[in-house]
Amino acid sequence: MIKLTKINKIFADKHQSFHCLKDIDLTINQGEFTVIAGPSGSGKSTLLNIMGMLDKPTSGNYQFDDNDVAKFSSNKLADIRRDKIGFVFQAYNLMPVLTALENTEMIMEFSGVSKKERKQRAIETLEAVGLGEFKNRFPAQLSGGQQQRVAVARAIAAKPLLVIADEPTANLDSQSTESLLDLMVSLNEKLGITFIFSSHDPRVIERAHRVIHLQDGKVMRDEQLENVTAGQPQAAMSS
């Protein structure tokens, strides 16, 4: 699904330049539950942003579903993000003027899902993340953990192929962290949705199937863990 070849990212301004990602080669298959681990500043967010098509690499090749991402226009990229990728950002990032339900529905509306269907899916998803009764609240009326769960609901309601989450548990207490992880693992197992996380939280890392260790912009280690339970993602998707 994702194939990165010799990806480099250099941040440069007038005074200095910073080589953030160095010759990253990486393949991520459908149905994987992968964590990018590494200390702060190692380039995790930068890598996720590139994989999520929010940012462009300085050099290297990015194939998404066998297509060269560099060739896509910004509208095409937006359409791919809308239809295939769900995002969970570190700082919740909900629309403050929309309720939990409306936040969850928003992307589906932009992709043309009918009003009835998107509402039903949004309610189902909010119930799945345990927020059924909070669906008409605005973000400001929800706790941090609840907001992050709305963000997850928003990311998965449209049934994307891939969910990218940048330190989704960084601002959560351990109970919220556990329930969020349970939710993601079950989505991965039931629907075969591919998850790519960044985290340096051991509780997150231990639930992953694959851990990619990043340090100073380089892949230090790429571990396949034993507890691979993703089953048959293709079959799950088509069911």
Partner 1 sequence: MIHKLALRNLLRNKRRSSLTSVIIVFAFSMMILFMGLSDGGHKAMIDIGVRMGLGHIIVQHDSYSDDPALQHLIAKPEQVIEQITQQYPTLTAVTRLRVDALIQAGRHGVALTISGVQPNKENQVSAIADQKAIIAGQTLPQFSQDQQMQRLGGIVIGETLAKNLEVRIGDTVTITAKPASGADLARSAFMVAGIFKTGLHEIDTFWAEVPLTSLQTLLEVPNSASQIALYSQANPETLAAITQQLTTALSDYDVQPWQTAAPELYSAVTLDAAGMYLLMLIVYVVVAVGILNTVLMSTFRRQKEFGMMIALGSRASTVSKVVLLEAVYLSAFSLSIGLALGLWGHYHFATEGLNFKEVFGTAMEAGGVLLPEKFYSILDTSKLTLSVLFVFLLTIIVTLIPAIRAGHRSPLAATQDA
Ligand X SMILES: Nc1ncnc2c1ncn2[C@@H]1O[C@H](COP(=O)(O)OP(=O)(O)O)[C@@H](O)[C@H]1O
Residues of the shown chain interacting with Mg ion in the complex, contacts defined by CB under 5 A = 45
Minimum CB separation of residue 188 from ligand X in Å reads 22
Cα gap 105→150, rounded to integer Å: 11
Which of 5, 11, 203, 234 is close enough to bind ligand X by CB under 6 A? 11
In angstroms, give the least distance from the CB of 20 to ligand X.
Answer: 4
Residue 40 makes contact with ligand X by CB under 6 A? yes
* Residue 54 beta carbon to partner 1: minimum distance, rounded to whole angstroms: 4
Rg of the chain taking only CA atoms, in angstroms: 18
CA-closest candidate to residue 54, choices 98, 88, 15: 88
CB nearer to Mg ion: give 125 or 148: 148
CA distances from 17 to 5, 11, 20, 49, 58 (A): 22, 5, 9, 19, 12
Which pair of tokens denotes residue 125? 């998803």
DSSP for 206-232, written as a single string: TT-SEEEEEETTEEEEEEEPS------
- Decide if residue 52 touches ligand X (CB under 6 A): no
State which of positions 176-215 bind partner 1 (CB under 8 A).
none
Contact stretch for partner 1 (CB under 8 A) within 24-32, 50-58, 183-191, 203-211:
50-58
Pick the piece of the chain touching partner 1 (CB under 8 A) from 108-116, 124-132, 203-211, 216-224.
Answer: 108-116
Measured at the CA of 78, the angle between CA 143 and CA 142, to 5 degrees, comes to 5
Q: Rounded to the nearest whole angstrom, what is the least distance from the CB of residue 124 to partner 1 in the complex?
A: 19
Q: Which residues bind ligand X (CB under 6 A)?
A: 11, 18, 20, 38, 40-46
